[in-house]
Chain A
Amino acid sequence: MKTWRFCEFVFLLAAVVIGFSAGGCVPVPSDKTPDGRTIVQYWEKWTGFEGDAMQAVVDDFNASQDEIFVQKLTVSDIARKMMLATAGGNPPDIAGLWSHYIATYAEKGALTPLDRLLDDAGITRDDYIPVFWDLCEHRGFMWALPSTPASTALHWNKKMFRDAGLDPNHPPQSIEELDRLGEEITLVEVTRDGERKRVRFTELTKEERENYDFEIIKLGYTPSEPGWWNGMWGFWFGAHLWDGDRTITAASPENIEGFTWFQGYTRKYGLDNLRQFGAAFGNFSSPQNPFLAGQVAMVLQGVWMYNFIDKYAPQLEWAAAPFPSVDPENLPLVTLVECDVLVIPKGARHTKEAFEFIKYVNSQPAMEKLNLGQRKFSPLAETSPNFVKDHPNPYIENFIKLAKSPNARHVPMMSVYNEYVDEMNVACDRMFNLLATPEKALTDVQERVQWKYDRVMRRWDLVKEDRLKQWSEEQ
């Protein structure tokens, strides 16, 4: 009898183990607060002052509500975790993603289309700076609304301009002038008559330049710093990375021209010299950041750069202006834009309540509070008169102007975005290291990404009708 009881215990134990392992039994937490409000789970990636800015908006929303309570949770590596949580059937109600994930996640059925909710709320494209609305759209459906947007601009170090005898208030107006000013600022060390001497790059002899017989001390400009958008340089030469449908156009003449310019920097300063110089760069988010440390005079950076200048190099004399294109007359105000967005993952339990919060964030006061807190600008078409005046970034108007430009460009909104960017990075590396000509490297990218895209399209064609029907029914 005693033995049998023991067996019963063991069986019970096994049953518990089986129950927990096989059922995926994550205990479902209560979705109501003690005072009866519906809890909306919100995953966001921001930490530090950016996280605080969003928390303040969440707190305002919660204070204004007696039906919904938004619980914000900071989550690192959010895109991957959201994907796994959605695949596992237990996603948050809202997630703060980046706009470039929308195409991939929407196409794979991981997001909830927002069109009907937007219609009901009377929110339209006219309410936004157009490019940020477009970044939330894919295959004719809206999948997100913006939270914090960003555009990029040329940041320059005024002191380095002055030290080189240049006008610190005159940024380059064309790519050609950028190259020239960069050379005039670049400081190098050479051995002449057995002595080490510091001279400007423009003072080097023809022989010293050809033999790369110098060491870079300070650099006026290099397109390989910060190296985050290396694959996108073609935008400043009028290039497009795809035709918007099924064809990859990485090897277009404009793109080849752009990357010939990019590779020209290795040819000009020498691969080993640039590598040696680059090896001395510190982390981006540190005082050893080459721009903040006064090692590089000009850099393409986003609206967030102000925060890092403020934190690590408050004494830096700097300014920001549009990054010049190859043809400033016909191609003015080119910029790369990105956007943080709020999405409702597929399978979220409180879609309506989640949208209430997203709608609140997209109201003018909340949006301005959030973006002032993060020191970015509002993606809304209208801003209050004090927004620019109160903004700590003295050049914020330039970033807004750039975002509104018809030449505001963004990474390809396609489901092989990650592969495309990776391939472009590999190609840039090959070009920078003089391992391939721009023609060869870009043709390789085009062929490879096209091959990958065709595979994804093969799948899309199989499920397209079902998907579109399902999305429309969800309206």
Chain B
Amino acid sequence: MTRREWKDFWTGIAFISPWIVGFVVLVLYPVGASIYYSFCDYDVLSRPVWIGTLNYQDMFTDAVFWKSLKNTLYFAAVSLPLGLVLALLVAVLLNQEVKFRSGFRTIYFLPSLVPVVASAMIWLWILNGKFGLLNYGLSFLGIEGPNWLSDENWTKPSIILMALWGVGGAMVIYLAALQDVPRELYESADIDGASAWTKLRHITIPMISPVIYFNLIMGIIGSLQVFAQPFIMFGGGGTNRSALFYAVYLYQNAFDYNQMGYACAMAWVLFLIILVLTWLATKSTRKHIYYAGE
């Protein structure tokens, strides 16, 4: 490089240095440190002591670890597909030419703007076993609603219900994609006499498949990391730890029990699980995704 190029190079570096510093200090160092701590007995207050893979071995024999993992996978397995389908369904409906369309769009999107803590507090009352709105509504259908928050069979469905209430975020992304589907495709399908279902199946879904894929990946990551709602609503995990999710147990270890080394190891295991699931999702959907540029 010439002198001038070097100068330009360093000027460039100087310009992005705030970002580099931020990345190194706030991301790279913590990530690196967490790998190291995951092999240590570390309680935040005193020096970490190297214990090899003991934290990882402990996880295998820790029944609560397995329970939290099972709860989290159950939540992801149910809420993710339901959320994807529901968001798509609502988006397709809101893409139709109906009266007050923008009003409806706003209404469906609103829940995802409500702060998590506020929505959790509202849902605590909606799901209340005695005075809850949900059970009150069910009583009109002749159904005696369960104790959503204290019955171990219903705690996870409660959280899933709450998650579905917030599908507005994914819906907006679908809506944007739906508006990008070329009108002429529908017009030619109309000329061929295609039904609404056929159009959805053979035009809409393939055309927005990259967005479905995007929502799927974000959904996998988000649902495996679910934290705020169960933490606020069930604190220690609810009846018989039926609503103890992975991230909540990780938090307990890190900040309630001062087992930061164990928590770091758990974080890395979660990272690997998400990595594998994302890779599987990418591999299995690759053939079904249509990119216009390819």
Binding site for B on A (CB under 8 A): 3, 7, 10-11, 13-14, 17-18, 21-22, 80, 83-84, 86-87, 104-105, 108-110, 272, 275-276, 278-280, 416, 418-419, 422, 425-426, 429-430, 433, 435, 448, 451-452, 455, 458-459, 462-463
Q: Min CB distance, A3 to chain B, in Å?
A: 8
Q: Min CB distance, A437 to chain B, in Å?
A: 14
B237/A426 in contact, CB under 8 A: yes
Q: Which residue of B15, B45, B130 has the most chain A CB atoms within 10 A of its CB atom?
A: B45
Given contacts A279-B147, A426-B241, A463-B46, contact A455 B15 (CB under 8 A): no
A21/B256 in contact, CB under 8 A: no
A selection of 13 A-B contacts at a CB cut-off of 8 Å is A14-B14, A17-B21, A86-B45, A87-B45, A104-B258, A279-B131, A279-B150, A426-B236, A433-B240, A448-B63, A455-B41, A458-B41, A463-B49
How long is the Cα–Cα vector from A76 to B49 in the complex, in angstroms?
31
Q: Min CB distance, B41 to chain A, in Å?
A: 5
A108/B258 in contact, CB under 8 A: yes
A429/B240 in contact, CB under 8 A: yes
How long is the Cα–Cα vector from A87 to B254 in the complex, in angstroms?
14
Q: Min CB distance, B3 to chain A, in Å?
A: 13
B152/A435 in contact, CB under 8 A: yes
A276/B130 in contact, CB under 8 A: yes
Taking CB atoms, residues of chain A closer than 8 Å to B128 are 279
New A-B contacts (13) at CB < 8 Å, excluding given A13-B18, A430-B240: A14-B21, A17-B17, A18-B17, A87-B45, A108-B258, A109-B45, A272-B147, A279-B129, A279-B131, A418-B256, A419-B257, A422-B252, A433-B152
How long is the Cα–Cα vector from A417 to B161 in the complex, in angstroms?
35
9 tightest A-B CB contacts, nearest first: A279-B130, A14-B17, A108-B45, A10-B14, A279-B129, A21-B25, A110-B45, A109-B46, A275-B147
Q: Min CB distance, A15 to chain B, in Å?
A: 9
Q: Does B10 contact A (CB under 8 A)?
A: yes
Chain A interface SS verdict (over half):
helix
A276/B258 in contact, CB under 8 A: no
How long is the Cα–Cα vector from A10 to B17 in the complex, in angstroms?
9
How long is the Cα–Cα vector from A7 to B15 in the complex, in angstroms?
9
Q: Does B269 contact A (CB under 8 A)?
A: no
A276/B129 in contact, CB under 8 A: yes
Q: Does B239 contact A (CB under 8 A)?
A: yes
How long is the Cα–Cα vector from A280 to B43 in the complex, in angstroms?
40
B15/A10 in contact, CB under 8 A: yes
Given contacts A83-B44, A279-B129, A416-B257, contact A429 B239 (CB under 8 A): yes
How long is the Cα–Cα vector from A279 to B129 in the complex, in angstroms?
6
B44/A87 in contact, CB under 8 A: yes
Taking CB atoms, residues of chain A closer than 8 Å to B41 are 455, 458-459
A280/B18 in contact, CB under 8 A: no
Q: Min CB distance, B111 to chain A, in Å?
A: 24
Taking CB atoms, residues of chain A closer than 8 Å to B44 are 83-84, 87, 108
Which B residue's beta carbon lies closest to that of A105?
B45
Task: For chain B, residues 1 to 56, give those with C-beta under 8 angstroms from any C-beta of chain A.
Answer: 7, 10-11, 14-15, 17-18, 21-22, 25-26, 41, 43-46, 49
Taking CB atoms, residues of chain A closer than 8 Å to B256 are 418, 422
B236/A433 in contact, CB under 8 A: no
Which B residue's beta carbon lies closest to that of A10?
B14
How long is the Cα–Cα vector from A452 to B62 in the complex, in angstroms?
10
Q: Min CB distance, A216 to chain B, in Å?
A: 11
Taking CB atoms, residues of chain B closer than 8 Å to A276 are 129-130, 147
Q: Min CB distance, B22 to chain A, in Å?
A: 7
A83/B131 in contact, CB under 8 A: no
Q: Does B214 contact A (CB under 8 A)?
A: no
Instruction: Give B236-256 as 1s and 0s: 1 = Cβ < 8 Å from A's Cβ atoms.
Output: 110111000000000010011
Taking CB atoms, residues of chain A closer than 8 Å to B17 are 10, 13-14, 17-18
A83/B45 in contact, CB under 8 A: yes
A108/B43 in contact, CB under 8 A: yes
Q: Does B187 contact A (CB under 8 A)?
A: no
Q: Min CB distance, A318 to chain B, in Å?
A: 26
How long is the Cα–Cα vector from A18 to B131 in the complex, in angstroms?
55
How long is the Cα–Cα vector from A276 to B130 in the complex, in angstroms?
6
A418/B45 in contact, CB under 8 A: no
Q: Min CB distance, B271 to chain A, in Å?
A: 23
Q: Does B58 contact A (CB under 8 A)?
A: yes
How long is the Cα–Cα vector from A81 to B182 in the complex, in angstroms?
56
Q: Min CB distance, A287 to chain B, in Å?
A: 16
Taking CB atoms, residues of chain B closer than 8 Å to A110 are 45
Q: Min CB distance, B63 to chain A, in Å?
A: 7
Q: Min CB distance, A74 to chain B, in Å?
A: 21
Q: Min CB distance, B240 to chain A, in Å?
A: 5
Q: Min CB distance, A14 to chain B, in Å?
A: 4
Taking CB atoms, residues of chain B closer than 8 Å to A14 are 14, 17-18, 21
Which B residue's beta carbon lies closest to that of A462?
B49
Which B residue's beta carbon lies closest to that of A419?
B257
